[in-house]
Structure 1
């Protein structure tokens, strides 16, 4: 088991906490407030020829470490500034394992917000792309019942550099509607998004919440000179493949639909997403999960079913004269289904302990969502995960 102490480094807290105690308005009211959250997590995978890792991480539990802290552990610090009743700002830094095998703190939020009216507001700067129902707090383990949000759907966390216009209104006395228009770009190291635009809506009525969203973007994969050279070989011998399979400016669409019912003593939550676009490197997938749980005092047992369908070709067969594109398509096959049983224990206010076990069955030829595949890995198999975490907020 390899531990990474920097995961719990207080370096980001040290810098931001200096601001909070000394920043007061002239009338004695706080302008700045300081808060944070974190998770100390560990996961074991039964698959020793590949790794279960955090989104976009190159390794994790399984082959690299039988027990790993990297998929779920993180520490975050946030400073909020309320300059006036209408004008505010927020800065958040998160230390978590990333695609470069580093825990270097990343600036995940850095934006200003201005409310023209109680209903109409704009945010500009670095914001969380509101792709999913739980996007705003997908990293905040304490805010969710699970050890991690279902990875079949929550397979990425994107910070968007751009702007968001939101409008809230009521329909009748019991229905609240929020509409969001977002635009911007993102650099997530392993890929970049450009010309991103999205329209999202949330409707809350009674104990129910309905979420829907649609996004369009241009996706470019990180520079890979070796892969670029291999793809360049297709030009003279397979021009159609060369025009479809490229690393830059792939048109991508993403749609999401979610529903949650939470009357208090129990909850049900489900989301389904669809990733599509032009034929190319990125697999087109339909992803979903459904989760139900019951609150019994300080305990919340739950069960979650997840599924990933790959809706685009996983091979072009003999049309590939070199084999590189077939290899890329096979590597993008993450089709699978999973069943997770777990429980949350609210040990005290602001601290929760969680334990869960998952069984994952991969479709034929699928890597099951695993990474760092070794020569002995056999696609289409199954594996088990055992996970535990301590979530906290402050």
Structure 2
């Protein structure tokens, strides 16, 4: 659930607050956005506080499903970065061209990966976005330092037939540098929709470097928008985690991942400001890896992972007020 409010302090100054409640965190209320912004007369806009990390085309709408054509952004791309907001600042500038707008943005600050407690420092990046309201082109680069433990749940046998789960430290990150590169494009003429993004994440040490991308095609038929999506993700540095030791073997199991995902969906704009979405996603081609799914464990008797494909059904109601 998302609650967002914008307060006009003056004609050029605003305060924005977005509160989130997520089921994975027991519906705990947290501020995803809490910032002040000011636009100067020359078009420069400054923002400071807690902000969304602007890495993707739909970063500003990750939790506002109504603004997205699909039921959810492809997890292969949008799930690759384990944090979505940062504390710091940003500056942007719009250049009005003949029939289009060029937006340049820089951002910087720090963050924390909530699921692991990993500290993210020296976060800095920039993106550029061009649109003529039909075509949109985008490019982004960002980098940061990471400090903390990467853990994984493992089964521990306390006694015959008595098994419990414990956290195992797979990797310790100490001032390791990570970088993010991405490009995207979209086309929307009111009927035909085409969206694509490609990203590359590179991190020092044995933490996985990952390529991912997707292509979504859709067509509006009155209040209905059927769409299809093809997405992929694959770790690129698997040879750095060859099982030459027990630690490397565990890192290989925890980090090596690849998969293809195929989605068929339908958006129904039932009434003003309310959309109902249906989606079926089939993922396979795991390449004898976990596929990036945490609950896909290795079968020690066969040396293969338990699941080599999965099917996900989604029914979603999106509304804005």
Q: Which range, TM-score by smaller chain?
A: 0.7 to 0.9
Contact 1:366 1:379 (8 Å CA) reproduced: no
Does structure 1 residue 107 correspond to structure 2 residue 19?
no
Partner of 1:209: 136
- Shift in Å at residue 227 of structure 1? 4.7
Q: How does 1:1-394 map to 2 (within 5 A)?
A: 75-98=1-24, 101-117=25-41, 119-155=43-79, 156=81, 157-171=83-97, 173-189=98-114, 190=116, 191-205=118-132, 207-222=134-149, 227=168, 246-278=172-204, 280-313=205-238, 316-317=241-242, 319-320=244-245, 323-374=246-297, 378=305, 381-394=308-321
- Shift in Å at residue 330 of structure 1? 2.2
Contact 1:361 1:380 (8 Å CA) reproduced: no
CA RMSD of aligned residues (A): 2.1
> In terms of mean alpha carbon deviation, does 126-135 or 379-388 score higher?
379-388
- Shift in Å at residue 222 of structure 1? 4.2
- Residues in 2 aligned to 1:96 and 1:226: alpha-carbon distance in whole angstroms: 23
Contact 2:206 2:241 (8 Å CA) reproduced: no
Partner of 2:163: none
Contact 1:111 1:126 (8 Å CA) reproduced: yes
- Shift in Å at residue 188 of structure 1? 2.5
Higher relative helix content = 1
- Shift in Å at residue 264 of structure 1? 0.5
CA pair 118-78 structure 1, distance change in 2 beyond 3 A: farther
Superimposed CA distance per residue, residues 215-259 of structure 1 (whole angstroms, 9 cap, x where no aligned partner)? 01012334769756xx8xxxxxxxxxxxxx632222000001000
Contact 2:238 2:256 (8 Å CA) reproduced: no
The aligned length equals 299
- Residues in 2 aligned to 1:192 and 1:114: alpha-carbon distance in whole angstroms: 29
- Residues in 2 aligned to 1:261 and 1:221: alpha-carbon distance in whole angstroms: 40
- Shift in Å at residue 196 of structure 1? 0.4
Q: Which has the higher contact order (CA 8 A, sep 6+)?
A: 1
Which consecutive unaligned segments of at least 5 residues does structure 1 have?
1-74, 232-244
Higher relative strand content = 2
Which consecutive unaligned segments of at least 5 residues does structure 2 have?
152-165
- Residues in 2 aligned to 1:330 and 1:223: alpha-carbon distance in whole angstroms: 13
- Residues in 2 aligned to 1:111 and 1:334: alpha-carbon distance in whole angstroms: 36
Task: State TM-score, norm by structure 2.
Answer: 0.87
- Residues in 1 aligned to 2:264 and 2:247: alpha-carbon distance in whole angstroms: 39
